[in-house]
Amino acid sequence: MSDTPELYRNRAAMERANAAASSLDNVRARCERAAMAWEEMAERLERTSKLRSEREDAAARAAEARMLVAAE
């Protein structure tokens, strides 16, 4: 199974539900911290994926430009 932002956000939602269901302050706090961590991981994965895609696109454009120059 591949990690996806949706998976991380689902885990965050589960932790928020656990926090809402708990009657103990320390458990609620732990679940809220866990939810925030899952959200941060989702955001980090999205940023990383975007940067990777941009880097791969730039590399492809550079390779194409080199091929055009070599063909001249």
> Tens digit of pLDDT for each residue in 36-60?
999 999 999 999 999 999 999 999 9
Give the list of residues 6+ apart from residue 1 with CB closer than 8 angstroms, or none: 7
Q: Is the pLDDT of residue 1 over 70?
A: no
Half-sphere exposure of 68 (CA within 13 A, CB side): 6
- Ranges 1-5, 7-11, 40-44, 45-49: which has the least confidence: 1-5
- Ranges 10-19, 25-34, 56-65: which has the least confidence: 56-65
Output the CA–CA distances (angstroms, integers) from residue 66 to 12, 39, 58, 62, 63, in the order listed. 45, 41, 12, 6, 5
Domain of residue 16 covers 5-71
Confidence of residue 70 (pLDDT cuts 50, 70, 90): confident
User: CB–CB of 18/2 below 8 Å?
Assistant: no
Q: Using CA atoms, how far apart are residues 14 and 22, in angstroms rounded to an integer?
A: 12
Question: Structural domain tally of the chain?
Answer: 1
